[in-house]
Amino acid sequence: MELKEAVAIVTGAKEGIGRGIAEALVAEGCRVTITGRHEKELRAAAEAIGADWIVADVGSEADAERTVADVIAKHGHLDILVNNAGYGLFKPLVDTTLEELEALYRTNVFGPFLMARAAAKHFMEQNRGEMINIASTSALKGSATRTAYGSSKFALRGMTECWRDELRRYNVRVMLVNPSEVMTEFAAKAGSPREPSDKKLRPKEIADAIIGALKVDSRGFVPEFSVFATNPF
């Protein structure tokens, strides 16, 4: 697709992978709106990268509907939705509470569902659209302490496959991206801090891969791809 002047929403984009994706889209000439729950940090990020911003919780049905409606009202249409908002929780099964699991699913699973549903209605009407869901290599293989986070990404991968099959007939490309370990604050916030390493991935690598996938002519698309560090050891 042609990215110049395309209208995009990137959720959870005040930092990390989401911010990297938003920056890359702005650099390509897209009109980008980023979302997040904390106004001060969100506004600062938006001003720094040249994007619009909307304070919203993707896990809120009203917020998801409002976000998509506001962007369409401002620009007349929506071309790209990047479902990036999410967080991690790395704890043994026996230490994970139901409340923790429900809260994580509210953001990591229900959030993408609500945003995708709102965007899909518009994409179907205009007979085109791009949906990028940010999962994880944790969606490919279960591992210890990943009951909550890993299963949420398995769920997102499954929903992506359903949406892809359902929306292809409307010329909507639904893509899943599985980043491997990226040097952001994500792991530390999830309770598993990592030592900084120049060999690990940066948000830029994920963003560059997404830009490449979006630039594929609209007659074809990349359904799913993973991004690994070449030599993280």
Q: Give the active site residues.
A: 149
Q: How big is the chain, counted in residues?
A: 233
Amino acid at 65: E
d(CA 102, CA 21): 27
